[in-house]
Chain A
Amino acid sequence: KNQVEQSPQSLIILEGKNCTLQCNYTVSPFSNLRWYKQDTGRGPVSLTIMTFSENTKSNGRYTATLDADTKQSSLHITASQLSDSASYICVVSSRGGAGNMLTFGGGTRLMVKP
């Protein structure tokens, strides 16, 4: 069964600090992995999308890494800001066949405090 596990479930950090969110998956066959940011009361917004051959991808202060061998990904946030407070969702896409094969993680809820 395809699964995506995220850790921690929640995290509180001080403004200006860095943090790393984890995503482990057992999805096969793998197509790509996406990180989304979801502000409270809003829909998710894409941060990065990584394919099998990509190890690192950055989007401003967000840097995602992917280890396809160990089936792990991380999202590193540098110099956190209050606006980074949100849920971060890892989504893994399966390759092949018809239809929509996306497996969603449960998300990490991040709170950045002043």
Chain B
Amino acid sequence: ETGVTQTPRHLVMGMTNKKSLKCEQHLGHNAMYWYKQSAKKPLELMFVYNFKEQTENNSVPSRFSPECPNSSHLFLHLHTLQPEDSALYLCASSQGLSGGSSYEQYFGPGTRLTVT
């Protein structure tokens, strides 16, 4: 798990709070991803960054704001969330973009988010 780290591992926040999730990869990869995993639903891709540039935004509400200052770090800024946003948020990285290629994605342990 030291390849991709995420902090915090658990987060409880109110609907009016502002918080940030952090992801760091130590693998020298160029692509990073944010996923949402809700109970009994498939993994949902939220954002994709390649060489710090956002290449995909899967119609994610603006209350989720990603930031990628460099190829090793990825943030997800949260504000005015809803209870239905409670989920496990997973970060992943890959050498190149995984879609349409054999580049393997390496996942972090996730942040368990609860919105009250």
Contact = CB atoms under 8 A, between A and B. Distances in A.
A45 B90 CA distance: 12
A114 interface: no
B55 interface: yes
B94 to A, nearest CB: 9
A107 B88 CA distance: 15
Contacts of A101: 99-100
What class of interface size applies to chain A in its complex with B? 20 to 34
The main secondary structure of chain B at its interface with chain A is loop
A98 to B, nearest CB: 7
B1 A99 contact: no
A60 interface: no
B77 to A, nearest CB: 21
B113 to A, nearest CB: 13
A43 B98 contact: no
Interface of B: 1, 4, 31, 33, 40-45, 48, 55-56, 90, 92, 97-102, 104-110, 112
Interface of A: 4, 31-32, 41-46, 49, 51, 89, 93-102, 104-107
Nearest 7 Cβ contacts at the A-B interface: A43-B107, A100-B99, A101-B99, A104-B42, A104-B43, A100-B48, A106-B42
